[in-house]
Amino acid sequence: MRRKLVVGNWKMHGNIKSNQLLLTDIINGLRDYKNADYVVCVPNPYLFQARELLQHTNIAWGGQNVNQHEQGAFTGAVAPHMLTDLGCTYVLLGHSERRNLFHETNLTAAARFDAAIKANLTPVLCVGETLAEHEAGLTEVIVASQMDAVMATLGDKEFAKAMQLNMVFAYEPVWAIGTGKTASPAHAQAVHEFIRHRIDRRNSDAAAHVRIIYGGSVNSKNAKELFAMPDVDGGLVGGASLNAEEFVAICRLAN
Ligand code: 13P
């Protein structure tokens, strides 16, 4: 039985005061819910605040991206060890907003994945097709290419390390992100099953254990049905993770 995982992606939202209120309510709301894993990925300037409030709780925190370099003249970038310095255990990689708005590619996702696991961060690799690709029936082709770009760069040693860190895949159809148009549970299940089969071609033990979470307009109303699908191991939650009541309700459904 895979333990469910809910990751909140705050994107570029929040301030010191609102974060304090949101995190306090989430901590209180999830105190007695120990049967799933919960993570919040906050903007980098607030990781210190997340650590102050979340250490000694059942909620982990992580970055929304990481650079592949260890250090150097990379203005504006954040290295993997900087995230671990601040107690992060997770990092999102290859989010569609990074790909579409900041021109990141499969290549950079692969390099960042490698750098993240070297730093002992659990990578959450985001994959998913755009609306045009969806309508053209290309979902599996796109998801496979995004997965393969990363998996092919991992040697056996790196793959074993990624497994040991409990790497996560997040299926986020771009047309469902921030649109209120959630993928149907059947569609999510079909793509998650496809992702698991593709991992199985490499390693069946990894395929059985890897958590594949769904993202795209997840809320407290649709989460139950999505989480009930056999290959949906939780959610990657954007907008609804900024509302404590909503996020706590989604996390409780995973519990
Ligand atoms: P929404 O939940 O706001 O659709 O965002 C999903 C997402 O991109 C999470 O990474």
**pLDDT in 10s for each residue of the chain, 255 residues:** 899 999 999 999 999 999 999 999 999 999 999 999 999 999 999 999 999 999 999 999 999 999 999 999 999 999 999 999 999 999 999 999 999 999 999 999 999 999 999 999 999 999 999 999 999 999 999 999 999 999 999 999 999 999 999 999 999 999 999 999 999 999 999 999 999 999 999 999 999 999 999 999 999 999 999 999 999 999 999 999 999 999 999 999 999
- The amino acid occupying position 39 is V
In a mutational test of the pocket of ligand 1, which residue from 10, 11, 97, 124 has the highest number of ligand atoms less than 8 Å from its CB?
Answer: 11
Alpha helices in 32-138 (DSSP H): 47-54, 80-85, 96-101, 106-118, 131-135
CA-to-CA distance for 150 and 110, rounded, in angstroms? 4
Q: What is the pLDDT of residue 205?
A: 95
> What fold does the segment set 5-254 form as a domain?
TIM Barrel (3.20.20)
pTM beyond cutoff 0.95: yes
Query: DSSP labels for 162-215?
Result: HHHTT-EEEE--GGGTTSS-PPPHHHHHHHHHHHHHHHHHH-HHHHHH-EEEEE
- Who's near 166: CB < 8 A, 6+ residues apart? 122, 209, 210, 211
Instruction: Determine whether the shortest distance from the Cβ of 246 to ligand 1 is under 6 A.
Output: no
Q: What is the pLDDT of residue 102?
A: 97
In a mutational test of the pocket of ligand 1, which residue from 236, 246, 247, 250 has the highest number of ligand atoms less than 8 Å from its CB?
Answer: 236
- The amino acid occupying position 237 is V
Q: What is the pLDDT of residue 13?
A: 98
Question: Angle at Cα 235 formed by Cα 229 and Cα 237, nearest 5°?
Answer: 145
Q: Using CA positions, which residue lies closest to atom 9 of ligand 1? A: 238
Select which of 97, 104, 172, 246 is catalytic: 172
CA-to-CA distance for 189 and 255, rounded, in angstroms? 19
Q: What is the pLDDT of residue 1?
A: 82
